[in-house]
A and B are shown apart, each in its own frame.
Chain A
Amino acid sequence: MSRVTKFAARDPGPAARMSGFMAHLRDNGLRLGVGEAELSLTALTHVQASDPNEVRHALRAVCSGCAEDAARFDDLFDAFWLNGGRVAEKTMPAQSPTADNVHSSRNAKGLDAASGAGSATSPDGDDGGAAEDGEGKLVASVVQATMKKDLRDLVQPEDIAEAQVIARKLGAALHDRRSRRRKQARKGDKIHFRKLIRQSLSTGGEPLQLPKKQRPDRPLKIVTLCDVSGSMTVYAQVFLAFIAGLMREDETTDAYLFHTRLVRIAEALRDKDALRALGRLSVLADGFGGGSKIGVSLMQFSRTYARRFVDGRTVVLILSDGYDTDRPELIADALAALRKRGCKIIWLNPLKGWDGYEPVARGMAAALPHLDLFHPANRLADLEALEPELRRL
């Protein structure tokens, strides 16, 4: 058993240590607020605060919120409180400039840069050795620069207008018919008793009108993830026009690009001027046409943005050819995690339109079991043809 951490003499006391511990947990990705710090201190008054083991159990109950947190808690606890008898110089770790609740695609780096401490969310994954040493990095950045394209060359305003029409149709097709709640409606299958009683009061208990209630159709939210790596460049034109159309049609739609990292483009695409939107996008899409890390990007998505924007009433639309430089299991894991949010996942693959195409790209094969719909699409017309499929979903 490791010995208890000694705290410096100038350390102001238990409350400061506890907030130091909270900051330590927060730095390691646990989502805690001031409320938890307060609750933790209160909790310690109900146990033997001098017994590390009791404190460990107590703080685990207060501070962890899911199975992963609970599993990691032991190590985090040991690192802070049982530091082999070493003196902790600073009870409060340095403030990290986290702006977790601000989601703007103006901050092109997205969440990964902001909440980087602790967990392995580095976009390079664990085997990105080549990019790590000095020379490799230099080469990579040169390649990136030459690959930089102006999206305005790719997408014409007419395309967007056309895509908008299609996007409207698709949006209409995507209605969640599963709502089990009933709402008041003019025509409905059940009587709205509460209203009936109220109304019948004025006619002496004679229910002259029968108000009804009905299960309403709930529109689905669409989240698009578009692959803009090198192998997808030729199709990006169509897809970006489609996404732009979708965004202009439906305010709730959310959109992301990924190549070697994930970028949220929803904010930029909402610009009223379609071409200016694409201009802003070009700035964000630095690295466009480069390599692709589908698995890492999807995993990053499911760990960060998906927690807030994806729920059971969301359709996640992935536009990619499935050629990935990482292990295919990463894609499968990421999709499985995403599915747990209760969303539907549609994968549109431009290559599937080719004669004799088989999903042999290992990434694609790994993804298949997790998809609700796997469909070809490389022209706007193909997207239009999706409509009946989406209706069935």
Chain B
Amino acid sequence: MDWTTLQTAMAEQGYIADDDLAMAVHLALALGRPLLLEGAAGVGKTEVARVLSQVRDTQLIRLQCYEGLDAAQAIYEWNYQRQLLSIRAAAEDGETGRAVEDRIFSQDFLLERPLLKAIRQDQPPVLLIDEIDRADEEFEAYLLEILSEFQVTIPELGTITATSRPIVILTANGTRDLSDALRRRCLYAHVGYPDRNTELSILQSRCAGINGQLAGQIVGFVQSLRKEDLEKKPGVAEMLDFAAALMGLGIADLTTDPKVLQATLATLLKTESDRFNITTEIAQRLAGKAA
């Protein structure tokens, strides 16, 4: 599959990727490298992984990162309750220590967490490591090891090698800088806010029934809103919420009712000061320009 076919396939699943992103995804697939996606919240980084799993018709395995994420949550853990019960049962049956040990440290008692699960699939899954910048540096280091070797060593069980190499997508939105080592291991694509035409096609592919004039207004409005001095600029996800809200309320033209427009801004502006700064007048001016 070359990169334009991939771009079209992704578009069919409702994801409009620009050339840069499509090429990066294509290369990640072709070269078997992890892909690091960076960009503001709500521009559709996570969505890339979901769509890719649909395009490839494979499973999506997701690992949400947070500070203090450790091996027990990310890779594997033993099922301690079962182990304890099993030991007790074995004691009643008079089973010997060695046999018990072999049994309770076997695959049956292993709880797979996303990373281990991802390398033990028959079909290469899409592994989404979401918001990697939230995890701490220790985890980053551990991840590096897995991403380069695709194997996990469990002391009681031995080394588990990947049956299939997952397609790895990492996302980050810049809460902290990632290490150079991790960046170098990955291919990179920066996902920005889409331009007017791209955003319009996103809207049309997601909200099939939307009328052309309203769609143009919504996209124009959101695009000019992003140029305002905001704490949190509305992303693509917010734009889609906004469109859904307007369609739900049966609005056909942004400029007709200032009150409704101001109320629906709740879907776009998510901080108090942003709500305060975009007054009815400003909203009307932007809507007027977009019309």
Contacts and interface: CB of A to CB of B under 8 A. Distances in A.
A386 to B, nearest CB: 26
Given A196-B80, A200-B87, A205-B88, A341 B176 contact: yes
Given A205-B84, A312-B137, A31 B184 contact: yes
A31 B182 CA distance: 12
A216 B30 CA distance: 43
Interface string B170-210: 00001111001001100111100000000000000000000
A341 B177 contact: yes
A181 B188 contact: no
B101 interface: yes
B78 A61 contact: no
B27 A58 contact: yes
Contact of A65 (B35, B78, B83, B180): B180
A66 B87 contact: no
Contact of A66 (B28, B31, B83, B188): B188
B67 interface: yes
A249 interface: no
Nearest to B29: A46
A197 B23 CA distance: 49
A65 B39 CA distance: 13
Interface string A358-369: 000000000000
A36 B183 CA distance: 11
Contacts of B187: 61-62
Contact of B23 (A47, A71, A201): A47
A307 B189 CA distance: 21
Given A65-B184, A70-B188, A70-B190, A46 B138 contact: no
Contact of B3 (A47, A178, A179, A341): A47
B24 interface: yes
A67 B38 contact: yes
B104 interface: yes
A311 B135 CA distance: 13
A10 interface: no
Given A58-B23, A65-B184, A201 B137 contact: no
A187 interface: no
Contacts of A61: 20, 23-24, 27-28, 35, 187-189
Contacts of A64: 188, 190
B interface: dominant SS: helix
A136 interface: no
A340 B138 contact: no
A71 B190 CA distance: 9
Given A46-B30, A61-B187, A201-B100, A207 B84 contact: yes
Contacts of A46: 26-27, 30-31
Contacts of B22: 57
Contacts of A52: none
Contact of B183 (A35, A47, A66): A66
A106 interface: no
A263 B100 CA distance: 62
A39 interface: yes
B229 interface: no
Interface string A322-338: 00000000000000000
Contact of B84 (A36, A57, A197): A197
Interface in A41-59: 42-43, 46-47, 53-54, 57-58
A372 B92 CA distance: 60
Nearest to A47: B3
Given A35-B184, A61-B23, A67 B80 contact: no
Contacts of B2: 47
B284 to A, nearest CB: 33
A384 B16 CA distance: 59
A36 B104 CA distance: 45
Nearest to A33: B184
Given A65-B188, A201-B97, A205-B90, A43 B78 contact: no
5 contacts: A33-B184, A47-B26, A57-B22, A57-B24, A64-B190
Interface of A: 31-33, 35-36, 39, 42-43, 46-47, 53-54, 57-58, 60-62, 64-67, 69-71, 178-182, 193-194, 196-197, 200-202, 204-205, 207, 307, 311-312, 340-342
Given A36-B184, A57-B22, A65-B184, 18 more contacts: A32-B184, A47-B3, A57-B3, A61-B20, A61-B23, A61-B24, A61-B187, A62-B188, A65-B183, A66-B188, A70-B189, A180-B136, A181-B138, A197-B78, A197-B80, A205-B87, A205-B91, A342-B175
